[in-house]
Amino acid sequence: MICPYCRETIKTSYLKTTTICQACYLYLKQGGKINAIPDAGTIVTDEKGYIVCHICGQSYKKLGSHIANKHNMLVEDYKEQFNIPQKASLASKEHILKMRNYNNMYKDIVVYNNLLNKGRNTRFIAGQVPLRKHNKKSKCLYVSLASADTENTFAEEA
């Protein structure tokens, strides 16, 4: 089955009346509107000022996150595919202003702390796996198979 909104292949539909993927269902349930697909080379906004996706017609404040998560594309590949200049922003003006104000508000603190640390622990080291907040592999890997009434043989081996 193919979702009529985003054209993604799905195994099960989340509505009984029509075939629709879970992501599009949640988007529409939260009040989202499917817009007309913009022409290549143009960045179109909806009535809220959100940027419209060239693939599925959904609009978001930060289109880059949507492209990466929903369509499994890099932003650079998306811009190249739809002839959008690489310097063009895929964030709404509201979001850009919000981040600009946030940066200006905390600029002194951040710059001062970075000068004190001299970039320590902020650089990517080649070959090192980056630490992520929601790393699925960080769950408990060790399970005790010994019951409560058995002896602890691990202490003797060590």
Task: Dump pLDDT digits (tens) for 116-144.
Answer: 776 566 566 667 666 655 444 444 444 43
Q: How many CB atoms lie within 10 A of CB 50?
A: 23
**Percent of the chain, pLDDT > 90?**
16
Rounded to two decimals, the pTM is: 0.62
Return the pLDDT at 80: 92
The predicted pLDDT at position 121 comes to 63
Give me the pLDDT at residue 51, please.
92
pLDDT tens figures, 43-90: 889 888 999 999 888 899 999 888 988 888 899 999 999 999 988 889
The reported pLDDT for the residue numbered 124 is: 61
Q: In the chain, what are the domain boundaries? A: 1-32, 33-81
Whether the CB-CB separation of 32 and 58 falls below 8 Å is answered with yes
Split at pLDDT 50, 70, 90, the class of 93 is very high
Query: CA-CA distance, 71 to 10, in Å (whole number)?
Result: 13
Q: Distances in Å between the alpha carbon of 153 and those of 101, 149, 150, 156, 157? A: 60, 12, 9, 5, 7
pLDDT tier for residue 154 given thresholds of 50, 70 and 90: very low
Q: Which tops the pLDDT comparison, 114 or 30?
A: 30
CB-CB contact of 7 with 56 (8 Å): yes
